[in-house]
Structures are given as C-alpha cells and as structure tokens.
Amino acid sequence: MADHPYRGVQVALATQHGKERALAPPLARRPGLIIVPLAIDTDAFGTFTGSVTRTGTAAEVALAKARAGMAASGLSLGLASEGSFGPHPWLPFGAGGVETLAFIDALRRNELTLSAVSRRTNYAWHDVAANANPAPFLRRIGFPAHALVVRDGDGGVLASGVQDEATLARLAIPGTRLETDMRAHLNPTRMAAIRALAGQLAARLATFCPACGCPGFGMVDVARGLPCASCGSATQGVQTIIDGCNACGFQASRPRPDGLTAANPASCDWCNP
Ligand SMILES: [Zn+2]
Ligand SMILES: [Zn+2]
C-alpha cells in the first residue's frame, strides 16, 4: 500500500539550471515524488544579472514558473524555485540570500510556497584594480567551483558562468567588476540551500490537513502578542504558530515550538519604552 498519495507521482520542475539535483533526493524519500525536469526558459521570469527584470514577488515568480512547467508537461503537480540575493530592493538587508520554493497541486487546488533565508550565501563582488590581487576574493567565494560574472565599468555583462583561470585573466582588467554567478548549477552554495528547503517541503507535504486530508498542512502565519513576563501586556513577540491548509482554508494554532510563554521585559514597550 502506498504510504502517501504522491508516492511514485510525477511533478513538473521548470528549470534551466539543473535544480533537480538538489530537489529530487529530499522529495524522493517521502512523499516519494518523481521530478520531471523541463527546460522552460526560466530566464524570461527575470535574471540575476539584471538583463531581464523580475516582476512580482519571489513567491509569485516561483508559482508562475511552476505553472509554466505544468502547462508544458500536462502534469497536475508543479514545482519551481526562485532565489533572491542582496543588495536588492526585495531584501531588507545587505548581501543576503533567500530561496523560495513553490509547489502546486492542481487537482487538490493547493498552492504553497516556502522561503528560507540562507545564512550561507556567497553573493559578493570585487572591483578589479591595478596592482590588486583578486585571489583572496576568489578563495572566499569558492572559485572555480562557484562561477563568476564579469562586468565592465558601466555594469554591462562581459561574460557569465566564468569558471576557468584563463578566461578570468583575459577579462578581469582594471575597471571591471567580478560578481558571483548566482545561477544554481554554477553555485554549489545555492544548491545546498535549495536542497535544505526541499527537505522542508518534503516534511510539509508529509503532513495532512486534519479537515480535508490534503498534503501540505503547515505554518502559514504567526499570531503576535506574547505577554511581557513582568507586566503582562502584549508585545510584538510571537505567541502562537498558525498552521493552515491552502486547499480548504482550515487553520489551527499551536504553541511556539520552543515553549516560550512570556516575553523578556526588554522587548516590552511598557516596561522598556
Ligand atoms: Zn484542508
Ligand atoms: Zn512589560
């Protein structure tokens, strides 16, 4: 007997960048999905080098890519990922990374997205100057396993996917900028982050909605208002986790996983204005 309705079921993955290598193993164990990679022109949804500007949030773009894969394959399940790297208008902090994964089940009318801030991102750049040695930068970002984009002084892309010393030596003249190539197949650090997020998706899909039985029940929101340990007034701290099902709309709240029931008075507007 199948232990999961997705066991042995195909899911379309729109990717040009070999992401099935990161996504397939975690999802193969449980729920047991079989990834069908489709060479959709995902660059049409926006590129890291800025040659195509992304429209919409990362979640919207990931869902749109997933739909494109489903349309191209005729499959009712779709999967896609989208990365955001700083400094960037979508990110409230500096050189960070956020990976977003979208999953669609058209038959059960379920759509969900998961995001994770990658604490490990190698997004960085280096301006090439005369008499300066780029070797420490190259070591730090993990060249040549991690590829580079070379830009001219005006920001135009001279080359991307650069992974060999000879090409780099020819292009990296003073006045150019070296930048990490964030496409997943050229960036093992990103691949690891996508794989970790796929593990979260696998756990999420292994959880069934208590109301309708749809796979993918899990955290959709938090309720703030954790009471201050000293005066008891509501703070901005998270009080409960809200789990939800995007197929039927059922929601249930549960306590914080860390068991914390009161906020530090230092975070209380009343005790510590
Ligand atoms: Zn449900
Ligand atoms: Zn207080």
6-15: per-residue pLDDT in tens? Answer: 999 999 998 8
pLDDT, tens only, 81-112: 988 776 544 444 445 678 899 999 999 999 99
Is the pLDDT at 119 greater than 60? The verdict is no
Tell me, in angstroms, the distance from the centre of ligand 2 to residue 256's CA. Answer: 20
Dihedral of the alpha carbons of 38, 159, 51, 100, in degrees to the nearest 10: 50
Tell me, in angstroms, the distance from the centre of ligand 2 to residue 253's CA. Answer: 24
Tell me, in angstroms, the distance from the centre of ligand 2 to residue 258's CA. Answer: 21
pLDDT, tens only, 193-210: 889 999 999 999 999 999
Could you give the percent of the chain with pLDDT greater than 70? 89
Other Cβ atoms within 10 Å of 251 Cβ, number: 14
Please tell me the pTM assigned to this model. 0.79
Tally: H helices and E strands in the chain? 5, 12
- Could you tell me whether strands 125-127 and 77-85 are parallel, antiparallel, or unpaired per DSSP bridges? unpaired
Alpha-carbon distance of 80 to 60, in angstroms, equals 11
Output the average pLDDT for the chain.
87
Tell me, in angstroms, the distance from the centre of ligand 2 to residue 222's CA. Answer: 21
Other Cβ atoms within 10 Å of 227 Cβ, number: 16
Answer for the pair 229, 262: CB distance below 8 angstroms, yes or no: yes
Other Cβ atoms within 10 Å of 80 Cβ, number: 30
Q: How confident is the model at residue 36 (pLDDT cuts 50, 70, 90)?
A: very high
| Ligand in nearest proximity to the CA of 244 | 1
CATH architecture of residue range(s) 10-121+187-206: Alpha-Beta Complex (3.90)
What tokens does 212 get? 């309708």
Q: Shortest CA distance to 254 belongs to which of 238, 237, 234, 273?
A: 238
Burial 177-205 (b: 16+ CB within 10 A, else e): bbbbbbbbbbbebbbebbbebbeebbebb
Alpha-carbon distance of 19 to 185, in angstroms, equals 7
- For residue 134, give the amino acid letter: P
